[in-house]
Structure 1
Amino acid sequence: MTYDAIIVGAGHNGLTTACFLARAGLKALVIEKNDYVGGAAVSRELTPGWTYSNCSYVCSLLRPEIIRALELPKFGLQVIPYESGATFNSKGEYFNYSSDHDALRRELVRHNPRDADGYERYSRAVMKQCRFIKPLLLRTAPDPASFRPRDLSELLYIGKRFHDLGERDMAETVRFWTMSIAEFLDEYLETDIVKAHLAGSGIIGTGLGPYSPGTAYVLLHHYMGEVDGAIGAWGFARGGMGAITRAMADSFHASGGEIRAGSGLDRFLVSNGRVTGVVLENGDEFHAKTVVSGMDVRRTFVDHTDAADLPEDFLKGVKRYRFRGSSGKLNIALDGMPSFHAAPKGARFLRGDLHFLDDMEEIERAYDDWKEGRWSSSPYVDFLIPTQIDPTMAPPGKHYATIFVQYAPYELADGAWDDAKREAFAKTVIDKISRHSPDFESLIVHKEVRSPADIEREVGLTEGNIFQGELTFDQLLFNRPVPGYAQYRSPIGGLYMCGSSTHPGGGVMGAPGANAAREVLRDLGKRIDMGAAA
């Protein structure tokens, strides 16, 4: 069968691209290896009555322009914000991080009056970086080696924005993008538990520790989202993260698009330097002059493309691109709401993200374990119970816990992941939580344990890297994924990339998918209908 465009992978970026192409009038087909859409943004019922957000688990980065353009609320998407979170330490103390400015200031004063003022300066510094980077998210990164008018214009745009920062803030921006999250926090704050709480956003999904250069930017990547206009807010998609991709799929279908699930890509068909279609693992063959890959750059060009069809230097660049999976995930069905002995009765912060840390050095030691090929003996965990806000994910009176774990190696020093090692990994995580919640383990009805290798096998993320490649300075903007190919095109004519291996990177953001759609439509002489991305 012949289509105008074929999109490989029904993750959120693939669906975003597909929606915009279909809305522009193209006959579009999405192919997906799993029996369900969603990729890493999926909701699944693995035990009766409970719905898990199996991989990604919170929503903030999804660009509001995309939500509006694809009319996702019309197709059922509802994001419910949570307003606070907390970190507990081994001394029985807690730090409550609230989105309410006055409440947060009172909490900081409770720990250290100097940190209340330091946090104000910290927040202003981060927001300056957000204001600089956010307008670039829905723009195509320029090729600095090109003399094409579009690239020169975009370089001038970035240069002017950078120059307008002023001499002092220009220097601070360069420092920020290259420094560690620990160094950055130390400049503003003194209290260990406060810094530990904030440092987590600098290492989530990254094979780096809090003292590693470049982790300050990772914090920024988590800080620049919003929910209903509230900058930096996070929330739960009602019904789990699959609600996002289900709404996208419905939007795509409403524009006449077609999805074929249940068989993955075998290879791209290429003739005379141009893509002509795809062959699936089941032998089905589909043809199109435009094919867009939502897979990461390594899976696209190493696993599914004939090396003879690619320039040698490009292929070398693809193979050098770093993934370094470092994250595990537990999804747990609970028979009731666990208690936390350090939390005041009725504490609202239990509805948000919970962490169990003494200081940043504890995170660094967890990173040291990962470097030795072991899961962390005292891991960093991002622990949430979404059913306090979204009761649709569990039976009445029951709860669901999502636990993101840092660090877990893709390859263990003592052999491959197996059931026994997954169980031991889960026990390490559960034991750490249980030290702060004595009834937590007794409430477990069912659990799903995912190592980076499991995430790679089930979701298709190489090495289980949730960002489709590390978000370090050398892999951003016009270097993502490979210098000279950061504009969603590939060396093969008609074959494009739209996954998080491209600018601006990972997270359930949709920006790579929207940007890729814009470039495809520009090459076809059409325009994308989406405000700032046009």
Structure 2
Amino acid sequence: MTHVVIVGGGHNGLVSAAYLARSGLEVTVLEARPMLGGACVTEEVMPGYRASTCAFVLGLMRPEIVADLRLKEYGLELYSSPDALAFTTEPSGRHFFMWKEPDRTLREVRRRFGPRDADAFAQFGMDMQRLGAVLRPLMMQPPPSLADVAGEFERRGSAGLYERFVTGSVTDLLGAYFESDLLKGFLAFSGVVSVYGAPSTPGTAYVLAHHSVGEFEGHFGKWGFARGGVGALTAAIASAAAASGARLRTSAPVDHVVVRDGKARGVVLASGEEISADLVLSNADPRRSLLTLVGPEHLPGETVSAVEAYDVRGSQCRVLIAADRLPEYTGLPKGQGPQHNGHTFLSPDLDHYEAAFEAARAGRLPEDPVVELTIDSVREPGLVPPGRHMIVTGVQQLPFELTGRTWDDARQDLTDLMLDRLYEHAPNMRGAVLGTHTITPLDLEREYGLTGGNIYHGAMTPAQLLSGRPVAGWGAYRTPVDGFYLCGSGTHPGGGVLGASGYNAAMAVLTDLGVATPRPWGSEHAARELRRRGFEDVLHAAYASPLKKVMNTAARQPWLRKLTNLATRRPGGKK
């Protein structure tokens, strides 16, 4: 029986383990931390307070994997916010809700920002949906080239869409649709995740476009949460893997991969224990996998140079805040409301993003960062003591290295900065804070194994996408070392909680072993998927016709909500 060792028990490593074990291989997963999940975990950060410490929103996880592994049978319960998916606010009280219902959101945009931006929001959503129709079928297939994808957009008569969403900047992309600065700032956040750049940096548009493949319970443009925090997802995947025979070990850090005669032969743990294996998969990022675990001495010189040039810049932080009350945002009623249920953004402004990048380049903290936050304890009171709350905040565009000091030195300054931003938007929080837990970019590397503090395992800019991820010329999960594969987010399709990198790596292993894959997988099938037209193309053609004005009006009507939901439903998704 073929023995496979998987280095790293993050969600992608566990997905690989589950599929390989189901196919009859002997699988051992080795996780350095005392718990499985990597950056997809629910942890007790203070006595009695549990929270999703790194990833916290689910909208990209591939439903095929949830179904294949029967994750709901292993305890996974996914749910969405009861009303608002997202909330954006400024200290002045100006704010905006993105509701679960598209018609309600369009009416909100029209009321807050005017008819032009309301129509633009509908157009933007339609274009994102069409973009997703091209990219989504590629998520669980070997990566095509960027040129192949560009050619497909051209064949569909959408070359402009490709240039706008793939090669352009976030600033130019959003400027082509919207007038409102608050609306642009809200949408820009997903375009600066794990990127060393600003919204004006060319190529950042794809980071935003990456979210076009997302869905929740079959519906485009929605996202949700896992009951018990995001760690419930990895717990379910781990249970599925274990049920198929995978051996899961924690507190088992790997020191290096054993390479003899150009082939991976197993691993050596930090304890000195050696585990022999026929194949080794690494869920670590490409730099750590190849330059640390394997070592440059086992790699061609050009591979070493390419991996050294692989861009892992783009750090973030988390500051978790225990409090005895909920934020009362300026301009909104007191008490619990929809502003506490979804994904919140504090003062998202393009100028703030630009200033944050300038600060990152100078190696200092930003003065007015854009803050994201969620409050799991509103939706799940059992995660915290009675009457208490846990506010999980985060900031992108941080430098990994600070000028003149370390992140350990700057930890309190970072905590204070986040608290000040919260107080600025919700003055009632002064005196309400019971404790904090701060995760700096250095902590992300040191504790969670994320080189450079990059949660995507590397920037998702055009040069590092599809068959160019992580390195052009070799990819598709195989490496120059025979029997050594990559299965983390540093491979196609990239960052976020998708599970697709782990699935694809497992399919590459099965293909190389001559074992049947659960569904068709391979470059020829990927090419067919790329050429396939879908419902989104028909919908887009109708929207581009003289019916556009009628469709915009209809999309805002609550009595036509079923029809609007149908338009956002992925073929095969839930009604």
Q: What TM-score range do you get, normalising by the shorter chain?
A: over 0.9
Tell me whether 1:138 sits opposite 2:140 in the alignment.
yes
Structure 1 partner of 2:443: 454
Q: For 1:348-497, what aligned pairs fall within 5 Å after superposition? A: 348-357=338-347, 359-418=349-408, 420-497=409-486
Give the fraction of aligned pairs with identical amino acids, expressed as a percent: 37
The 1:272–1:358 alpha-carbon spacing in structure 2 relative to 1, beyond 3 Å, is closer
Q: Which amino acid aligns with 2:219?
A: A
What is the alpha-carbon distance in structure 2 between the residues aligned to residue 367 and residue 79 of structure 1? 35
Paired residue type of 1:136: L
Q: Which one of the candidate residues 150, 153, 156 is aligned to 1:162?
A: 153
Q: Contact between 2:150 and 2:159, CA under 8 Å: does it hold in 1?
A: no
Q: Which residue type is aligned with residue 363 of structure 2?
A: G
* In the alignment, structure 1 residue 524 sits paired with structure 2 residue 513: yes
Cα distance between partner residues in 2 of 1:454 and 1:86: 28
Q: Give the match for residue 118 of structure 2.
A: 116
CA drift at 1:163 = 4.5
**Secondary structure in structure 2 of the residue aligned to 1:259:** strand
Q: Shift of residue 450 of structure 1?
A: 1.1
Q: Partner of 1:35 in structure 2?
A: 34
Q: Residue 412 of structure 1 aligns to which amino acid in structure 2? A: L
2:316 corresponds in structure 1 to: 327
Contact 1:90/1:358 (8 A) holds in 2: no
1:54 corresponding residue in structure 2 = 53
Note if contact 2:315-2:454 (Cα within 8 Å) is conserved in structure 1.
Answer: yes
For 1:115, the aligned partner's letter is D
Gaps of 5+ in 1: 145-154
Distance 1:446 1:119 in 2: 39
1:371-416 deviations in Å (ceiling 9; x for gaps): 1111211111111112211223212222111111123211001221
- Other-structure match for 1:126: 128
Contact persistence 1:331–1:448 (CA under 8 A): yes
Say if 1:458 and 1:401 are closer, same or farther in 2 by CA, change over 3 A. same
Instruction: Tell me the distance in 2 between the aligned counterparts of 1:116 and 1:46.
Output: 41
CA contact (8 A) 2:192 2:198 kept: yes
Q: CA 1:143–1:342 in structure 2 vs 1: closer, same or farther (change >3 Å)?
A: closer
Q: Residue 234 in 1 paired to residue 223 in 2? A: yes
Q: Give the secondary structure class of the aligned counterpart of 1:471.
A: coil
Does the 8 Å CA contact 2:313/2:459 hold for their aligned counterparts? yes
Residue 90 of structure 1 deviates from its aligned partner by 3.5
**Separation (CA, whole Å) in 1 of partners of 2:134 and 2:305:** 32
| Pairwise CA distance, 1:417 | 1.4
CA–CA distance in 2 between the matches of 1:413 and 1:131? 44
1:247-326 paired onto structure 2 within 5 Å = 247-326=236-315
Contact 2:93–2:332 under 8 Å retained in 1: no
Aligned-partner Cα distance in 2 for 1:99–1:164: 33
Residue type at the aligned position of 1:452: P
Is 1:6–2:8 an aligned residue pair? Answer: no
Pairs aligned (count):
519
The aligned amino acid for 1:98 is W
TM-score by length of 1: 0.93
Structure 2 CA distance, aligned partners of 1:358 and 1:281?
A: 43
Matched, 1:508 2:491: no
Query: C-alpha distance in 2, partners of 1:307/1:409?
Result: 27
Q: Deviations over 1:249-277 (max 9, x none)?
A: 11111001101211211111111111111
Q: CA deviation at 1:347?
A: 3.6
Deviation at 1:143, TM superposition (A): 6.9
Could you list the per-position Cα deviations for residues 6-61 of structure 1 after superposition, in whole angstroms to 9, with x for gaps in the alignment?
A: 11100001000010000001111001111110100011112122112111111111
- Equivalent-residue separation in structure 2 for 1:124 and 1:330 (angstroms): 35
Report the AA paired with residue 94 of structure 1. Answer: H
Closer/same/farther in 2, CA of residues 349 and 224 from structure 1, 3 Å limit: farther
Structure 2 gaps of 5+ residues are 526-575
SS for the counterpart of 2:427 is: coil
RMSD: 1.9
> What is aligned with 2:98?
97
Structure 1 distance, partners of 2:255, 2:292, is 9
- Aligned equivalent of 1:152: none
TM (norm. structure 2) is: 0.87
Of the structure 1 ranges 347-356 and 494-503, higher mean CA displacement relative to structure 2 is found in: 347-356
1:63 paired to 2:65: no
